[in-house]
Amino acid sequence: MKELISRAVELAEIVKKQEEVLVVSHIDADGITAASIAKKALEDYGIEAKVRFVKQLEKFEIEKIKDENKFIWFTDLGSGHVSHLADLDFIISDHHVPIGRHERQLNPHDFGMDGSIEMSGAVATLMVANRLSHDESLGELALVGSVGDLQDSRYGKLVGFNRKLLQFLDGKLVEIQKDVRFFGKQTRPIVKMLEYNIDPLIPGLTGDEASCVRFLSSLQVDPWVRWIEISKEEKRRIISAIVRHCINFGLGYDEIKRIAGECYILLRNPEGCEKRDAMEFSTLLNATARYGEAEVGMAVCFGDEKAFSRARTLLQNHRKNLAEGLRIVEEMGIKELKYVQYFHAGREIRDTIIGIVAGMSLVRNPKKPIIAFAESERGIKVSARATYKLVDSGLNLGKALRASAEAVGGSGGGHSVAAGALIPYGSEEKFLQILDEIVAKQLQNRTLSMSSPP
């Protein structure tokens, strides 16, 4: 812990010497909140700040950044590309699995922590930003980033350094509640919350309004009121019934445990607003980033009401596109190799949301990691998702995708449970063959090590 704090102080001192900083960040909720934290902290300290959002830190993006000839603060990315940044003056606050150590990098993996659950990119950025600004609301944004990065999904709550931040904010800016972990508790009628819930998909309810109405009516609950408007007893009754329903339909423990857990209420925001619940706030930000309007999301983080209205419109469109994506996957089907399963969406699903659709589709067969392909402007976008049960069995998607992508002339990386890559057009078959072999070795090596005598 002391080494981590010491690194944050060192990086902050480097930043303080700059007159102008270009913040380069990822296009998701974690990236938007990280960039917002960096920009606010820099401006509070009197340093001019500009922000650029990128899908991936590919070579062509790095070349464009070099042309800017500015000091760079990479947030929620950069650790996988340190070897390509030699000609830049920079710092990195990231949480993805790094390729090598660097003295100007703050990454939880370098300090013995798991960046997929213990510290988000936004929290890593906050570690540096706190030395530039004393604005406590930056911690609230970092929390939203961690939730948006699904850092609370494994245990149904935030852990590690995320937890330390939460404990600091608890009672001041945040309230911890035990509740259902579905999107829409603040803003939607319960029937719509159930109908559009996709994490996990609930057989017989997700996507079927009439069935949801019957389900809630059988529990003597008004389907058309919001979750925040019903009593604790009614909530308990609904959650218990959903769990029984899921068990009857054969959903596994990994899916069922995601139904309820900790939820984080942002006390500065009014009840009934998307920004009141950290999960809803992060989904709102994701909806801006995935459609090329990450700057709108950043403006929402700064309290811009006009941007908030635009973000709500993008969110509505985002949910429709996800539902359409699931329908497309259902129609085309998911193919299986020995150790992985996959689908190729071509141009039918946007490359910016293919990873989300992949994660939602994993519920159909959680026993194998799922690989999703989509065409993008610069090649084939690859997104991979798995369960923590597979990770505990030895799977590391970040390492597997990096090796497989590099073998076909692409690049990749990420976390053990979720990763991405960009590969050349036409290389999908070879990529899958290599990936299947790597995943097999990862799982077999874990089995062998567990069966070997101590």
pLDDT category at 10 given cuts 50, 70, 90 is very high
Does residue 422 contact residue 405 with C-beta atoms inside 8 Å?
yes
**CA nearest neighbour of 153 among 448, 391, 425:** 391
- Residue 204: the pLDDT is 86
pTM, two decimal places: 0.84
Name the pLDDT band for 447 (thresholds 50, 70, 90): low
pLDDT at residue number 446: 61
How many Å apart are CA 227 and CA 405, to the nearest integer? 44
Region 208-214 average pLDDT: 92
Higher pLDDT, 196 or 394: 394
pLDDT of 367 higher than 60: yes
**Structure tokens that stand for 118 in this block:** 């213990």
Taking 3-state DSSP, the helix, strand and coil percentages for the chain, each rounded to the nearest 5, stand at 50, 15, 35
pLDDT (tens digit per residue) in 171-208: 889 999 999 888 889 888 999 999 877 667 788 887 78
pLDDT of residue 198: 67
Kind and range of the H or E run holding 180 = strand 174-180
The distance in angstroms from the start CA to the end CA of the chain is: 31
Cβ(265)–Cβ(272) under 8 Å? no
Q: Residue 344: which residues within 8 A CB-CB, separation 6 or more?
A: 332, 372, 373, 374, 428
Angle CA(117)–CA(280)–CA(162) in degrees, nearest 5?
25
Among residues 400, 321, 346, 332, which one has the least CA distance to residue 368? Answer: 400
In tens, the pLDDT along 257-288 reads: 778 889 999 999 999 999 999 999 999 999 99
> What mean pLDDT is reported for the chain?
92
Check pLDDT > 50 for residue 239: yes
Q: Which domains does the chain have, with CATH numbers?
A: 2-135 (3.90.1640.30), 178-325 (no CATH), 333-448 (3.10.310.40)
